[in-house]
Amino acid sequence: MSNKRVTLKARQVSFAWDKTPLHWLPDDPFTTHTINVLHLLLPAGERWFVHVYKQVLPFIRDDRLREDVIGFIGQEAMHAQAHDEVLPHLREQGLDPTPYTAQVDWFFEKLLADRTLPPGKARQWWLMERVALIAAIEHYTAFLGNWVLNAEELDRRGADPMMLDLLRWHGAEEVEHRSVAFELFMHLDGSYRRRARTWATAFAALMFLWQRGARFFMENDPTLLDGKASFKAFYQGGKKGVLPSTPDMLRSIPRYLSRDYHPEQEGDTDQAVAYLASSPAARAAEAREGAAR
């Protein structure tokens, strides 16, 4: 395992969804929809990352870190766009996510917006609080990225190759840039109490939004008579290897809260870079860039 530093660049990927079935993991609507929640949460969440980071750029006093943050912004903006583009495809198949995405948009654009607190010290505090929240969320995006790069059970069960490539291209870039948010937080603030507090908030919010999203999809899937999402199904999916395992998720908590945590200890940059070199979408993006040059 090696964790050499790579220059972060946004790959201008594009995906065609017309051949992807509604249940892109065959005969497994629950796993399909649990992972589909990413398409609901990430566009608003990652645009919010970009919005917050643009505000902190002037406070960065380290050139390499600033460069990393700019690379991170480019990658997250592309992730948001790529997941957004799955939504019309879901609508065409009779699953309109608007009622749910409207709630998620409110969450990121109103509750976590700039003006939640008055100007001055409180607003400065709020900006640092959000920088720390992003670091905590990125602990989980790296965890999920590392998981999906290694989730061979999805291949074995015939998951749609286009969807797998979206998830693994994104996952690989999450592993690639996994240190940026934490290093930025440590550079600007680094308070342990803030790290622990924002971890608790981020974890609770992610769990809440995720289970609501999975329930929403299962209940509104036009092909299911009595679609339900449950923790038991999630746990079993983890045991089968089609979803992250609950024990692995629990073990990731003390790692983030350990005083010597660093995201470098999670995931494998070489594996991420190797996937990006073979990803159909990333290769097509590179070919298009080469042709435009």
Amino acid letter for position 54 = K
CA 270 to chain centre: 20
Tokens of 46: 């990652």
Q: In the bound complex, what is the minimum distance in angstroms from residue 181's beta carbon to Fe ion?
A: 7
From residue 101 to residue 120, the character string flagging contacts with Fe ion as x (rule: CB under 5 A) and all else as - is: --------------------
Q: Does 146 bind Fe ion (CB under 5 A)?
A: no
CA distances 48 to 165, 242, 250, Å, are 24, 29, 26
For Fe ion, which is the closer residue by CB, 160 or 174? 174
Segment interacting with Fe ion (CB under 5 A) among 23-31, 126-134, 141-149, 218-226: 141-149
**Region of 60-68, 85-93, 137-145, 249-257 interacting with Fe ion (CB under 5 A):** 137-145
Min dist CB 133 to Fe ion, Å, is: 13
* Span from 54-62, 68-76, 120-128, 154-162 in contact with Fe ion (CB under 5 A): 68-76
Beta carbon of residue 167, minimum distance to Fe ion (angstroms, whole number): 11
Which one-letter amino acid corresponds to residue 230?
S
Q: Which of 31, 36, 141, 198 binds Fe ion (CB under 5 A)?
A: 141
In the complex with Fe ion, the residue whose CB is nearer, 180 or 218, is 180
User: 175 vs 218, which CB is nearer to Fe ion?
Assistant: 175
Give the span between the Cα atoms of 157 and 31, in whole angstroms: 11
Alpha helices in the chain (DSSP H): 29-56, 63-84, 87-92, 98-106, 121-150, 152-156, 161-176, 180-188, 192-220, 231-240, 246-257, 269-278, 280-292
Q: Give the nearest residue (CB) to Fe ion.
A: 79
CB 79 within 8 A of CB 173: yes
Q: Binding string to Fe ion for residues 150 to 179, with x set by CB under 5 A, is what?
A: ------------------------x-----
Q: Which is nearer to Fe ion, 76 or 165 (CB)?
A: 76
Distance CA(26)–CA(154), nearest Å, equals 10
Say how far apart CA 71 and CA 84 lie, in whole Å: 20
Pick from 34, 275, 16, 52: which is nearest to 145 by CA? 275
**Local structure of residue 258 (DSSP, 8 states):** S
Contact segment (CB under 5 A) with Fe ion among 58-66, 74-82, 238-246, 264-272 equals: 74-82
Residues 79, 83, 168, 194: which binds Fe ion (CB under 5 A)?
Answer: 79
Interface residues toward Fe ion, by CB under 5 A = 76, 79, 141, 174
